[in-house]
Amino acid sequence: MISIDNVTVGYGTVGFITAVDQVSLTIGDNEIVGIAGESGSGKSTLMRAIYGDFSTGLGIKSGTIAGRFTDAASDQTIEKPSSQFRDLWWDQISYIPQGSMSVLNPLMKIEQQVVDGLPKRERGGSRKDLRARIAKFLAGFGLEENVLDAYPHQLSGGMRQRVLVAIAAFVNPRLILADEPTTALDVVVQKKILLMMVEIQRRLQNTLVLVSHDLGVHYQITDRLVIMYKGKIVEAGRTADIFANPQHDYTRNLIASLPRLHGQRAVDRVGAGA
């Protein structure tokens, strides 16, 4: 699906600030890949580079990111570098942003925000049919039909985030990139939304890339996990293996820092620095 080959990504046109340093990674079909790391580790930059969002001075210095998509309808294979992914946005690739108050247009009804940007293949039929299909789709997220006629300010934070997940999934893409999709939510709502994302991925049999600093989130839903630190991938592998047997010190510390239900955090017992 996506092959990242020894890529260095960073910002700036005059001077160059490296954010992702010589990273190689392969993302396969039909899997959930998590990218974890602290603030400034380069995980969001890597995600933007995969999405092909080369604005605000973001650029690839060396290496390549290439994608290979098989269009479900025509069965044609499309191969492109990520710098040309723009044509595939909201067609083969969609994106779930971190749902803040201002990520949806405050003056547009939810229905229009779902429809805006939909590829032709998902638009078929009359406006009424489309509305009925969207309503049915939203029902799967526990959202009632009247949400379609609501404006963003009338929804709660959790509802808005579910709407964002639904918008990205309704496109029926081969690849969904999610940038901290549950960060601003309480754990109960977070859990619900994560389960929805897994459910969608299993149904569409596509690829989900999830960027989050929260290891708990990764533990719950990802198949494979990539740990980033200072722009480099320090560890990658099956999520269960990484949690059972972390190889790198940084990963070990990350896992040790998770709060535990019983007893002290591992980090307090180990007292490890760095």
What is the pattern of x (binds other proteins, CB under 8 A) and - over residues 51-90?
Answer: x-x-x------------------------------xx-xx
Residue where the block lists tokens 């890339």: 209
Is residue 40 a contact residue for other proteins (CB under 8 A)?
no
Smallest distance, other proteins to C-beta of residue 174, A: 15
The secondary structure element, H or E, covering residue 136 is: helix 127-139
Site size toward other proteins (CB under 8 A) is: 24
Smallest distance, other proteins to C-beta of residue 264, A: 39
Count Cβ neighbours within 10 Å for each residue of 22-55 and write b for 16 or more, e otherwise. Answer: bbebebeeebbbbbbbeeebbbbbbbbbbbbbbe
User: Which pairing describes strands 224-229 and 232-238: parallel, antiparallel, or unpaired?
Assistant: antiparallel
What is the pattern of x (binds other proteins, CB under 8 A) and - over residues 153-192?
Answer: xx--------------------------------------
Is residue 104 a contact residue for other proteins (CB under 8 A)?
yes
Is residue 13 a contact residue for other proteins (CB under 8 A)?
no
Out of 11, 137, 151, 243, the only residue in the binding site for other proteins (CB under 8 A) is 151
Nearer to other proteins, 54 or 243 (CB): 54
CA distance 172 to 70: 13
Residue of 241, 156, 169, 175 whose CA lies nearest to 200: 169
Nearer to other proteins, 104 or 197 (CB): 104
Out of 91, 111, 180, 235, the only residue in the binding site for other proteins (CB under 8 A) is 91
CA distance 141 to 9: 36
Structure tokens at 95: 């994106």
The secondary structure element, H or E, covering residue 191 is: helix 187-204
Smallest distance, other proteins to C-beta of residue 120, A: 12
SS3 150: coil
Residues that bind other proteins (CB under 8 A): 51, 53, 55, 86-87, 89-91, 94-95, 97, 100, 102-108, 116-117, 151, 153-154
